[in-house]
Amino acid sequence: MGTLRDEFVEAGARERRALVREIEASGLLPDPAWRAAFAEVPRHLFVPYYYVSASGGYERLWSGDPDPERRARWLRGAYADTAIATRMRDGELVSSASQPSLMALMLDALDVRDGNEVLEIGAGSGYHAALLCHRLGEGHVTTVDLDGEIAESARGHLAAAGYRPAVFTADGARGCPARAPCDRIVATCAMPSIPYPWLAQCRPGALILAPLSTGLLLLRVHGAAHAEGRFLATSAYFVGLRGAAARTGERRGPGRGPTGDERFRFLWGLVGGAALDRREALSLWLREGRPERERFGVTVSDGRQWAWLDDPGGPYAWPLPGAV
């Protein structure tokens, strides 16, 4: 008779194959190296338990459930192309595992090359770091998390999957000076602005990918005090960064906005609390033809940073809150 571990190994492999097919069907995973990472890294090891919405709250599913039907439900959920709530405190979500197809999009946009040093901000479950380890080798991957419990849990999950990258408990807004310089920085938590220490810890030409408002900003670093880039086309929702940078920008958030259009919520999350009130922001948005995310960008330069529409030197520019 097979063991419970054998059950997970065999069933997990089937679920991974199905997940890869689903992601590929959406037009992602063109790079064989990333396709192999998603096909071979066992996501279920990184979510031994998680929470799903239930009437009046949340239901906890876990790998050790004595009910085989609930175990099977847990395993199917571990490989569903959805975000997974992995840690709750006092009814509040504090950590999650991102949607795999969104991870695939982000990893492709990060454009890593062999030998690149990558810093991940927000260890989460450790799954994203494991994908990076599969692609680059564990010696080239560093992940940090402000929460010691989350960092330790990610370290354990990574070790169970056979990966031992550098895992630090630290404020991600400060970067990780001990592992600098890096070629890529990727944040898996929502940011109010770009922390300045990141630029100083990057090599010239490095890329930074970070969630701002409800979008994903891809910056090219041109020096220790200058970076610039645009948003990707996709929407993206992440648990917010905690620590010094989060406190700096805590007054800002996407909010509901005066319309139901998700693209306006992105704009309002980016500029709300800056030079525009909601009426002005809505007027601009309508006048410019309901602009898509990729028309927006951010410039970080000499201690200032601002969002802009179409052109960093154009008429539409708004300051982002000061980072630390």
Active-site annotation, residues:
95
Asked if residue 268 lies in contact with residue 281, where contact means CB atoms within 8 angstroms, the answer is yes
The shares of helix, strand and coil residues in the chain, as percent rounded to the nearest 5, are 40, 30, 35
Asked if residue 101 lies in contact with residue 163, where contact means CB atoms within 8 angstroms, the answer is no
Strands 304-309 and 317-319: antiparallel
Q: Which of these, 237, 209, 235, 238, lies nearest to 292 by C-alpha position?
A: 235
Which residue is listed with tokens 């520019």? 317
| Strand ordering across the sheet containing 84-89 | 57-62, 49-54, 84-89, 92-97
DSSP sequence for 68-112: HHHHHHHHHHHTSSS-EEEEEETTEEEEEEPPHHHHHHHHHHHT-
- Burial label for 177, CB within 10 Å (0-12, 13-18, 19+), is exposed
Distance CA 42, CA 83 (A): 16
| Secondary structure element (H or E) that encloses residue 300, with its range | strand 296-301
Q: How far is CA 39 from CA 85, 107, 112, 264, in A?
A: 22, 15, 18, 36
Distance CA 158, CA 142 (A): 12
Distance CA 249, CA 193 (A): 8
